[in-house]
Amino acid sequence: MGKPLTVDVSSTFPEGSLVRDFYSGNTAKVEQGHITLMPAAGSDGLLLLESATVEKPAPFSWQNATVYFVLTDRFENGNPANDHSYGRHTKTVCKKLAPSTAAISPG
């Protein structure tokens, strides 16, 4: 097993901030510009440092959001075999209410 590493982070992280190693998940507080952490097993002695403080995410905004609408085409009956799915029944009311085209005479 390796040894803990002491790293100068003064140019990246402010004094007193909490820093986390991505590989191990261990955290350390910046003191006098330095942190000391044990590298994770399998990281080949590397530390990948990130701020451990979680920033509050910005509230969602619909401005400039892309919204897709999908419309189903029910004008062409491509498969009459599925007309009665989900317990649907044939509607004969429309046929009864529709005017007869035989009564229309040209001109």
Over the stretch 15-34, which tens digit does the pLDDT of each residue have? Answer: 999 999 999 999 999 999 99
Of the candidates 53, 52, 68, the one whose C-alpha atom is nearest the C-alpha of residue 20 is: 52
* Among the ranges given (11-15, 34-38, 45-49, 70-74), the one the predictor scored with the smallest mean pLDDT: 70-74
Nearest in space to 36 (alpha carbons), one of 24, 44, 74: 24
Do residues 50 and 64 lie in contact, with contact meaning Cβ atoms separated by under 8 Å?
Answer: no
Inter-residue contact 27 to 20 (CB < 8 Å): yes
Q: Which amino acid type is present at position 53?
A: T
Instruction: Answer yes or no: is pLDDT of 94 > 70.
Output: no
Query: In b/e form, how buried is each residue of 47-78, taking b as 16+ CB within 10 angstroms?
Result: bebeebeeeeeeeeeeeeeeeeeeeeeeeeee
Confidence of residue 88 (pLDDT cuts 50, 70, 90): confident
Mean pLDDT, the chain, whole residue set: 82
pLDDT (average), residues 76-98: 70
Bridging pattern class, strands 18-21 and 49-51: antiparallel
